[in-house]
Amino acid sequence: MASLEDLLKFTKVVESSVCIEESGEILRRYYRFRASKNYGGSAVGDVLGCNLGCVYCWCWSINSKLKLGDYRKPKDVVEILLSIARRDGFRIVRLSGGEPTLCFDHLVNVLKIFASVRRSEIFVVETNGIVLGVNDDYVHRLKPYRSAIVVRLSIKGCSEEEFEKITGFNRSVFYLQIKALENLDAEGIPYTVAIPISFCSKNSFSKLVEILTQRIGDHVFSYLEPEVFILYPSTVRRLCRKGLKPWILYEPITRRKIGRGEVDEFFRELCREQGGRGSEGS
């Protein structure tokens, strides 16, 4: 099982591959800009590179090709995002794909420029929270932009054990995400907590809620967002190989929910097609 130290080393390796410094400014690789239906319509910049490798990640394969895309300056990123948002009448702009908090100076500059030129647009920072949990001062650096941003922190599993299964990193790393949430709450930065309920047991979910309310307060309830796993074809092979399956999922091609009683057979068939093993138990 990879340790926190391994994770920090890996983070540095990814950062050095996807970011460069040019005239005192940090540029980051982006592999795509697009309009998305999520959040009722949003302009998205897909950054390259992540410090985790979640089993259910839809962009894992892209994020492992660290030479894809082009280096972008913060100013150009904001211009592109706002031009998509204003063209399509969206209020939300966001970074997705990889982990936006890598190369943190780049992100801070993007937010600084965004906050200075936005009208009513809001910037959603989607993150796994690890970098924000490791570096206390990073959350503090987001504070000047709090009226312009919402941090959407996606917890990886509801317990240390589930975190290990999903990410392959040691269970102690799980608590860095909780620490990041505490920091965000303490600094008064708007945030939401995405919980991958499809990979959580009832027991682990209730324990997580207890931990969050104890460490943050009952008001955290208003920020929780249950997230049902969407079965993108790119995720199937890794799930089968790792023997991990959700207890509920949404299948976007046939547009149907696969729930308890159906998942076992559904995954056995999927994994057979992949030549992997059918998974038992999540």
Q: Minimal distance in Å, beta carbon 14 to ligand SF4?
A: 10
Q: Is 14 in the site for ligand SF4 (CB under 6 A)?
A: no
State which of positions 37-66 bind ligand SF4 (CB under 6 A): 50, 52-54, 57, 59-60
Q: Is 57 or 92 the residue whose CB approaches ligand SF4 more closely?
A: 57
Q: Minimal distance in Å, beta carbon 217 to ligand SF4?
A: 26
Q: Minimal distance in Å, beta carbon 268 to ligand SF4?
A: 25
* Tally of CA atoms within 13 A in the half-sphere of 108 that contains its CB: 14
Q: Is 11 or 128 the residue whose CB approaches ligand SF4 more closely?
A: 128
Quick one: CA torsion of 196, 201, 204, 207, rounded to 10 degrees?
Answer: 90
Nearest alpha-carbon partner for 146 in 191, 104, 176: 191
In DSSP notation, 94-138 reads: EEEES-TTSSHHHHHHHHHHHHHH-SS-EEEEEE-SHHHHH-HHH
Q: CA–CA separation, 263 vs 57, rounded Å?
A: 19
3-class DSSP state for residue 234? helix
Q: Minimal distance in Å, beta carbon 152 to ligand SF4?
A: 11
State which of positions 121-180 bind ligand SF4 (CB under 6 A): 128
Q: Is 72 or 156 the residue whose CB approaches ligand SF4 more closely?
A: 156
Q: Minimal distance in Å, beta carbon 165 to ligand SF4?
A: 13
Q: Is 109 or 177 the residue whose CB approaches ligand SF4 more closely?
A: 177
Q: Is 41 or 53 the residue whose CB approaches ligand SF4 more closely?
A: 53
Spell out where 130-275 has E strands. 149-154, 191-195, 224-226, 229-230, 249-251, 256-258
Q: Is 154 or 274 the residue whose CB approaches ligand SF4 more closely?
A: 154
Exposed, middle or buried: residue 27 (CB in 10 Å: 0-12, 13-18, 19+)? buried
Footprint on this chain of ligand SF4 (rule: CB under 6 A): 50, 52-54, 57, 59-60, 98-99, 128
